[in-house]
Amino acid sequence: MGSVTATVPPLIGRNIIPWFRTFTAITGSGYRRYSTYRQATFAGAFTNIVFGFLHCYVFLAVATGAGGLAGGYDTRQLATFVWVGQGLLAVVGLWGWSELADRIRTGDVASDLLRPVSPVVSYLATDLGRAAHAVLTRFVPPVLTGPIFFDVYLPTRWPTVPLFLLSMVLAVVLSFSCRYLVNATVYWLADVRGPMLLWTLCSGILAGLYFPLRFLPDWAFVTIWLATPFPSMMQTPLDVLVERDGAPVQAGLVGLQLCWVGAALFACAVVQRRAERRLVVQGG
């Protein structure tokens, strides 16, 4: 190589097949990486189930107190919302990812930049592998536990299930992009603690994990939905699954999610390009 720039020109465009192979290979390695932490996976699923019970009982009490219908959900819809939500939380992986931030801080990110795949793409592939592993190990246990102890709602319209699966994939990609942006602040701030704390606080409450956002007054949840990406990470797939709205609104919510995914991925690409131009790698 003559001169080395921060990013080697990507292979995309010349031939899509090797690019696709690389992508799936990275996804596969992401999957395998998480499958080695078996005890941690069990521990996580156990915790999700305990929180499933806690939230389910509280929301059912809310619905009982409100005369059977809370925020437009009946008790069976709320039970499904909670239990699938606990499973989805691990798949979407809202919390606890600071790998990129750590690599930027230590300078290891330099070796990521020398690879022929853009960091955004390669970390996305790894994250999809992680999510695939979570679907099998973290999504299934709470989703199976819920119906044993509570009366749950099952979708009645056939397009709901494929739409939910699409919505779930979009939620994973969106969550990844946002976490990538949070991590990338280290390029400028050198410390991720502040942005990460802000992210953790906002994502829990605004994604619909603490309570379904439909419990809020109309103006509040519409604003949150349109102005922030958070509801598109949990609330949207769950609302789609429990058929909270009619089919057109259901599809519209997924459309909104798609817009957020596009915007967030674009932001990742821009931020990454900017960061590479100002990055000074230290260390020996």
- By CB under 8 A, residue 211 contacts another protein: yes
Nearer to another protein, 72 or 159 (CB): 72
Among 18, 159, 194, 246, the residue binding another protein under the rule CB under 8 A is: 194
Q: Select from 194, 196, 186 the least CA-distant residue to 279.
A: 186
Task: Count CA within 13 A, CB hemisphere, residue 23.
Answer: 14
- By CB under 8 A, residue 154 contacts another protein: no
- By CB under 8 A, residue 144 contacts another protein: no
Which range, of 45-53, 100-108, 110-118, 233-241, touches another protein by CB under 8 A? 45-53
Sorted by sequence, the CB contacts under 8 Å of residue 133 that are 6+ apart come out as 30, 31, 34, 35
Distance between CA atoms of residues 121 and 268, nearest Å = 10
Cα R_g (the chain), whole angstroms: 20
Integer CA distances (angstroms), 33 to 133, 168, 185, in order: 9, 22, 26
Helix (H) or strand (E) holding 117, with range, is none
Q: How many helices (H) and strands (E) does the chain have?
A: 13, 2
Site string for another protein, 77-116 (x = CB under 8 A): ----------------------------------------
Nearer to another protein, 84 or 206 (CB): 206
Among 191, 247, 252, 274, the residue binding another protein under the rule CB under 8 A is: 191
Among 11, 16, 25, 58, the residue binding another protein under the rule CB under 8 A is: 58
Residues that bind another protein (CB under 8 A): 37-40, 43-44, 46-47, 50-51, 53-55, 57-58, 61-66, 70-71, 191, 193-194, 197-198, 201, 204-205, 210-211, 215-217
